Structure 1
Amino acid sequence: MADEEDPVEHEVNVYLSKTLADKLYLFQYPVRPAHMTYDETPHLNTKIKPNQKKVEIEIGLNTRGDNYARSKGEQIAINVDGNTDSSGHYNSGMMDKQVLSSVTSTETASRYGVGVWKDGEIHLTPLHAIVQLRPNFSYLDSADSRVKVEVGAGDAGGESSQDEAEEEAKPVTMKFARQETDEAKARRMASFDYLQKKQEEEAWRPLQFYNINSGVAESERLKLVSSKGDDISEFQIQPNEYLKMLVPPLGETQEEKPAMPSNVLSLTQLRTMPLPDQIKALLTNAKVMRFSQLMALLPQGTESMGALRSLQQVAVLVQGCWVVKSEILYPKEATSPHSGVSADHLCRGRDYVMWRFTQSSHVTRKDIASIVKLPAEDVKDILEQMSRIRANCGWEFLFAYDSDFSNRYPDIAQRQKMLWDAKYQGLCNQLKIPKEHEKKFKDKESGLPVGEKVVRRRRSSSTRGNRKRTLSGRSVSDHSDVEMDVSLKSDIDNSTEDEEILKPESMDTSSSAENGDRLSVGANSASCDISSVSAELRTELVNFVQEKLHSRFILTASELKRLFSVKQLQCPSGHVFLSGVTDSMLEETIKEVGGVKLSNQWPPNAKVEPVYALPKTGDKLDKMRPVLLGLFEKSHKISRKIFLQRVEEQTGLQMNEYDSRLLLKDYCVQKGPMWYLKGTQGES
């Protein structure tokens, strides 16, 4: 009955052609409009990596068109190749070509085919690969690499004589690698670095491009049509078997897919697991998580207490966050992939690192290694799981203290604290930690989370003699360390209350220069010759001022004081910076590191604070820097055109647009067409 209502109108024969089955690629251009093809564009070079199904095509650019900026093209060529006239990436001296690189669009391209209708018949050819071609901007990486090489060569050339003079004979320690186990070898061969290295070892094979209308292209298209002698036995089977061959079952498709990396977790697959297994998989993958992040990844409607019960089985509380237990990461039969150390030693070392982070948000690898006695590679691997390296601070815990969780679940936080106390007693016996070690690193205000310690303020009193005092009002001898990140110290509160809790996010340095009795830097401090201070203080001042001046190029007196005040907060008890540093000492240090004080007296009727600048950095723009700074002696703003004219008049050199903007951005800020000196009244 159904056949009568839907009769067959026409039948055609379908043939399968295999001549190009292992060579046919489908190119897609997702960032190119359909009407703008590359058919008539000159193809300079084409190459392929057959095993990876990766293709690269170099096509020429029309450098004479209306839409081509010749100056930009020349600048890009200079950035990539330098000032060489030939034998570079762009031999013509300008960006005259573009590279298209392929990305695999689908893993199983054999399900798709190209069909040709001819003489009432359909001829199908399976696709070997489907790739998407996009512009490749690797020449930008080449430009960065070339600049780094040139800078490194310049530094090496300038310091070679000194290095040769100071080079001494040093003892060499021989290390013998242990025999690699089967498990370690399997991990190494499954790592991303190993797979990437294997891919890079495959050589490129050149290809010849033929235009779509050429005779070679026409002959290749004829191969899409199956000849009468081709074997077409695939169609002489039952319909249901033909459908299975055309659309393989899901299990077969999964076998064709490559294994996912070990650090990739499928949320779809995660939903099929029980709740404890979900939590274990998430913590094992992430290593460190906030409780709020964990609940966001779990299915909606998951109860918090149920999640916490499972969470405490696989993780421990550190800084209010949850860190996966060491025995989960290092089972008993596991060994270190770097050094072959047993799982027991790795667990003890990792537990000690976590205990240290319960006491402070920062640790140093040297201190850790001296206690755990593990190889440097294993210590670094453990630290990278739960912290990140921070300049001048060591290793910092990944997340800030999660006070929300501790306030919401105080009983769990207290239970975890008791667990860590018991764990530390066991570590003391296992690692043979001295008794005074705990007092050295443990916070005195253990009732408060790290980063929110109570700092007692005292009002200054003339009856206390001439003892040097720090920001907190205490003498240098009883000043305790305050571990804070510089990014959190933008504000320093100088309130005169008897007691208050200082938090990093509530500090304010705007009034730091006003309390001369609390700061080591004061506007009315007695003049002190920098040559008369101790060698240690002089060295520290030179390093500090040089770092700030070379990174900012322009510094006002108030900004320098603010930066120095922030630096004082980072200094431990007894540091030379807490012994008293005057304004004149800072000013003399600026001159010692090569800085100059600008003669900018504008606006004429306003009070102008001193401004210091760096006139030379040792690069090719040093001749232009004094010209730029001289323009601001008579005006508080300049234009780029005037600057270029003055450079040509005084030096006889012509600056290009790139160098001029680079130099102006070092010292100035732009507002509209005008440029103002950084940090001055003209900027506002």
Structure 2
Amino acid sequence: MSDTEDDPVVASYDVFLTDSDVSRYVFQYLDRHVDLPYNDRNNQCPISLKMKQNTGLVEVEVPISTRSNYDVNKGMRYGEAVKKSRSARDGGSYGMSGGFTAGSGAVGTGGRMKTETNGDVEVLDNKRVVDSNALMRTQALAGRVKPAEEGDPIYMLGTFKDKNLHLSPISSVIQFHPQLHHLDALDEMPKAKGTRGKKDDDDRPAPETEARAIDMKVKAAEDGETQHNAGNLEILKQMQEEKWRTYGWIDAETEDAWYTYESFMLHPEDGEPQALESNLDSEEYLDKMSAPRIDPARPDLTGWAMKENRRRQREAQAGSGNQ
């Protein structure tokens, strides 16, 4: 019995490649269980997505459920801090995406999301009535597009339709981590220490300080470290100066999402598809996939030299056969 009879072919598919010029990203939420995706069914459909194309920064704003496992006191405290922060008014972010300054934005408390409110107040599970706008209701998740380098693996998304397999190349895999913008906003607020005991006449709001970029000076012992640190500072500067581009979010189960899926994940059926042609012959393919081959007759010849020696031998044999 042959090996093919032990392992028969059970299915055969034609493979199609979709448009490679379309940007496709795979989002990975490292602290989120696979059974709890951020979608409308779980009442946590992301509100928006922000991206800085040149530096590769990406932020997704997701709603926070205030109905379970939610500390109302801290929610009001952080929500008030975010609401009053300079970054929230400027519409950007703290941390690396803002160049470690507060001048380019944070998570907002507003946004379009489903809420169960009664007018301008909200009744929580503990029957406590609070101002809906005072609660921290969203959280930012951030990641970065890793620039492609030579030798990186090429990932593809596969879609089956009938007897066809459609492969779509992925631009990048982005891993998202929760951002603590609310803590940065709280730290930004003027300290209340020393304000007690003042007269009511002197009880004025503290003047807001201007947002300024941080001037970082780095001293390194070696020239290599100096160049590396200078490169990091230049990247931070580019992150801070680049403007966010905001995109809407379409839930995966909507009709628009399915339309986009069929448009960009399947090869168009109109016309005869162009057949792929390999640039490698069989021996070149083996050389790419395997370790360097060694000719037992000539151990000193490997790789290209071995192939050239075999080519000359074949030509010599063919010439002698024609005589």
**TM-score under structure 2 normalisation?**
0.54
> Secondary structure at 2:189's aligned position in 1?
helix
* Whole-angstrom CA distance in 1 between matches of 2:278 and 2:36: 43
Contact kept, 8 Å, 2:58 with 2:145, in 1: the verdict is: no
Distance 1:140 1:57 in 2: 18
- 2:39 touches 2:252 (CA, 8 Å); kept in 1? yes
SS of the aligned residue for 1:144 comes to helix
Task: Sort the Cα spacing of 1:106 and 1:239 in 2 relative to 1 into closer, same or farther, 3 A.
Answer: farther
**1:93: which partner in 2?**
134
Please report how far the alpha carbon of residue 34 of structure 1 lies from its aligned counterpart in structure 2 after TM superposition: 1.2
Match among 258, 268, 272 for residue 218 of structure 1: 258
Which amino acid in structure 2 is aligned with residue 78 of structure 1?
E
Instruction: Determine the C-alpha separation between the residues in 1 that align with 2:170 and 2:284.
Output: 18
- 1:232 Cα deviation (Å)? 4.3
Match of 2:249 in 1: 209
Asked if 1 retains the 8 angstrom alpha-carbon contact of 2:46 and 2:62, the reply is: yes
CA contact (8 A) 2:85 2:188 kept: no
Distance in 2 between residues matched to 1:83 and 1:204, nearest whole Å: 18
- Give the Cα separation in 2 of the matches to 1:18 and 1:9: 29
Q: For residue 63 of structure 2, what is the aligned residue in structure 1?
A: 60
Q: Deviations over 1:622-643 (max 9, x none)?
A: xxxxxxxxxxxxxxxxxxxxxx
Q: Where does residue 127 of structure 2 map in the other structure?
A: none
Distance 1:122 1:32 in 2: 30
Q: 2:174 aligns with which of 121, 131, 135?
A: 131
1:223-280 deviation line (CA, Å, top 9, x unaligned): 2111244864445555759969x98x9xxxxxxxxxxxxxxxxxxxxxxxxxxxxxxx
Whether the aligned pair in 2 keeps the contact of 1:14 and 1:121 (CA below 8 Å) is yes
Deviations 1:644-683 (A, max 9, x none): xxxxxxxxxxxxxxxxxxxxxxxxxxxxxxxxxxxxxxxx
- Whichever of the two has the greater Rg, that structure is 1
1:27 counterpart = 2:21: no
Question: Is the contact between residue 12 and residue 163 of structure 2 (CA under 8 Å) also seen in structure 1?
Answer: no
CA drift of 1:2 comes to 5.0
Report the Cα distance in structure 2 between the residues aligned to 1:55 and 1:83, rounded to whole angstroms: 21
Correspondence for 2:95: none
Provide the C-alpha distance between the structure 2 equivalents of 1:140 and 1:241, rounded to a whole number of angstroms: 60
Equivalent-residue separation in structure 2 for 1:25 and 1:83 (angstroms)? 31
Q: Is 1:105–1:132's contact at 8 Å kept on the other side of the alignment?
A: no
Seen in structure 2, the aligned counterparts of structure 1 residues 208 and 239 have a Cα distance that, compared at 3 Å, is farther
Query: C-alpha distance in 2, partners of 1:232/1:242?
Result: 23
- Aligned residue in 1 for 2:155: 112
- Whether the 8 Å contact between 2:142 and 2:179 is mirrored in structure 1 is yes
Q: Deviations over 1:170-197 (max 9, x none)?
A: xxxxxxxxxxxxx99x948953111221
* Amino acid of the structure 2 residue aligned with 1:68: Y
Aligned-partner Cα distance in 1 for 2:256–2:73: 39
Alignment: residue pair count: 214
1:233–1:76: structure 2 CA closer, same or farther, 3 Å change rule? Answer: same
User: Distance in 2 between the 1:190 and 1:4 partners?
Assistant: 63
Contact 1:27-1:131 within 8 A present in 2 as well: yes
More helix by share: 1
Return closer, same or farther for 1:62/1:195 CA change in 2, 3 Å cut-off. closer
AA partner of residue 29 (structure 1)? Y
Query: What is the CA–CA distance in structure 1 between the aligned matches of 2:230 and 2:166, rounded to whole Å?
Result: 41
- Structure-1 separation of matches of 2:29 and 2:79: 26
1:72 maps to 74
Distance in 2 separating the partners of 1:61 and 1:49: 24
1:145 aligned partner, one-letter code? E
Please list, as runs of the form range in 1=range in 2, the aligned pairs for 1:109-188 lying within 5 A after superposition.
111-147=154-190, 187=227
Contact 1:110 1:128 in 2 (8 A): no
Match of 1:194 in 2: 234
Query: Paired residue for 1:227, among 268, 271, 290?
Result: 268
1:539 — aligned with what?
Answer: none
Q: Which residues in structure 2 correspond to 1:635-650 (within 5 Å)?
A: none
Q: Which structure's residues are more often strand, by fraction?
A: 2
The letter of the residue matching 2:69 is N
Please list every run of 5 or more consecutive structure 2 residues that lacks an aligned counterpart in the other structure. 90-106, 111-132, 195-201, 203-222, 292-323
